[in-house]
Chains A and B, each alone.
Chain A
Amino acid sequence: MYIREMVKTGTTTTIELAVSAETFIIAFIGYCIARFRLRYKGKTKALKRNSILLLAVTIISAWFFIGTLINYMLETESGLHVEFEMFSERVSIFGFSFAKTSVLMWILTGIALVICLIFRFVIFPRFDPDKPHGIQNIVELAVEATENFTKNIVGEYSTALAPYMFSLALFMILSAISELFGCRPPTSDLTVTLAMGLITFALINYYGIKKKGIFGRIKGLAKPTPVIFPMKILSDIAVPVSLACRLFGNMIGGMIVMELLKSVLGGYAVGLPAVAGLYFNVFHPLIQTYIFIILSLTFINEAIE
């Protein structure tokens, strides 16, 4: 499954390149002169405003010039050209076919494992329990925040759940960071998010049965009236699907928006995607991580109540 749109293709000519280069050079010289006058002729308000204006013009023309240069050198198409696959493309390793996101997930898991081992065997023994300093403060802050957060919602089972939630957050943040390096993040694959949702589903039922027993859990589903029993079963089954679809939809939505932006800008995609990526690739995944964790904990709390 893929979307492919091609609206127009344009080629950059030498004249465009020359015009943009001239604009950039003239604006830059103007800015230099303005700074020079500002330094030797005193700081008046009009001169300051002029220099700021010229700086803006210089930056815009520099962006335009770099974009035109990239278009000219690489012959990129400055039209709408989006290619997007619902499921990741596959690679074959040792004769087996794997999705690229799965391979990236193993790499990220390896990175997380290495980080954990370094922390366990190199950094933890150096910690001073009486006088925390440096990285110890950060680690203690993170662990304590996770434990308090978990304890506030699920109470007694937080000793087992807090580490799991912390590792989940670590994995999701690592996969969000991997998107910044141009990879397709593992969380934008429906299979990965569905696996996470199924783990949450298993945890909900495990803790529900542990707390109240099998009959207590079934009785809890028919709590206000027995009439809503089938609906409760249905809504329980919908929990992993909804968690998976929420994360998947958000991640892939951000990815598509960024791809669209890059394709529309073509060679001019210098600097601007980084600003948009701050929202779509950094802020949004972090919010989704928080929401995934808080929803998992809320559903577990609902089951043990």
Chain B
Amino acid sequence: MTAIGAGLAMLAALGAGLGMGIATGKAAEAVARQPEASGKINAILLLGCALAESTAIYAFVVALILAAK
């Protein structure tokens, strides 16, 4: 049962993936519109991706704690 729980915990990766995809798409649009601002956009993109990724990372840590007994 713990293995199923660990697998279910990783469902959170769905939201993180969606969020990072949307953020990257918007960043690509922004760079296409204003190529000279790509440095700033890159920094913001990395920060946003890190924050969006954190939910998946929490889920991963929870899954590890569940699975590694």
Q: Are these two chains actual partners, yes or no?
A: yes
Which residues from chain A sit less than 8 Å from chain B, CB to CB? 1-3, 84-86, 242, 245-246, 248-250, 252-253, 287, 290-291, 294-295, 298
Q: A246-B50, A295-B47 are in contact. Are A1 and B60 (CB under 8 A)?
A: no
Among B47, B64, B69, contact of A252 (Cβ-Cβ < 8 Å): B64
Taking the closest CB of chain A, its distance from the CB of B1, in whole angstroms, is 16
Q: B interface, how many residues as a size bin?
A: 10 to 19
> For the complex, what is the distance from the CA of A252 to the CA of B68, rounded to whole Å?
13
Among B47, B54, B61, contact of A294 (Cβ-Cβ < 8 Å): B47
> Is the beta-carbon distance between B60 and A291 smaller than 8 angstroms?
no
List chain A residues, Cβ under 8 A from B61: 245, 248-249
> Is the beta-carbon distance between B57 and A246 smaller than 8 angstroms?
yes
> For the complex, what is the distance from the CA of A3 to the CA of B3, rounded to whole Å?
11
> Is the beta-carbon distance between A291 and B50 smaller than 8 angstroms?
yes
**Chain A, interface SS category:** helix
Among A245, A253, A295, contact of B58 (Cβ-Cβ < 8 Å): A245
A-B contacts counted at CB < 8 A amount to 43
> Is the beta-carbon distance between B53 and A3 smaller than 8 angstroms?
no
Among A86, A250, A295, A298, contact of B57 (Cβ-Cβ < 8 Å): A250
Which residues from chain B sit less than 8 Å from chain A, CB to CB? 43, 46-47, 50, 53-54, 57-58, 60-61, 64-65, 67-69
- In the complex, residue of chain B having the shortest beta-carbon distance to the beta carbon of A252: B64
List chain A residues, Cβ under 8 A from B53: 246
For B43, B53, B64, B67, the residue with the greatest tally of chain A CB atoms inside 10 Å of its CB is B64
> For the complex, what is the distance from the CA of A1 to the CA of B60, rounded to whole Å?
16
List chain B residues, Cβ under 8 A from A248: 61
- In the complex, residue of chain B having the shortest beta-carbon distance to the beta carbon of A84: B68
List chain B residues, Cβ under 8 A from A252: 64
Q: A287-B46, A290-B46 are in contact. Are A249 and B57 (CB under 8 A)?
A: yes
> Is the beta-carbon distance between B46 and A86 smaller than 8 angstroms?
no
List chain B residues, Cβ under 8 A from A298: 47
List chain B residues, Cβ under 8 A from A291: 46-47, 50
> Is the beta-carbon distance between B65 and A86 smaller than 8 angstroms?
yes
Ordered by A's residue number, 20 sampled pairs between the chains whose C-beta atoms are within 8 Å are A1-B68, A1-B69, A2-B68, A3-B68, A86-B64, A245-B54, A246-B50, A246-B54, A249-B58, A249-B60, A249-B61, A249-B64, A250-B57, A253-B57, A287-B46, A290-B46, A291-B46, A294-B46, A294-B50, A298-B47
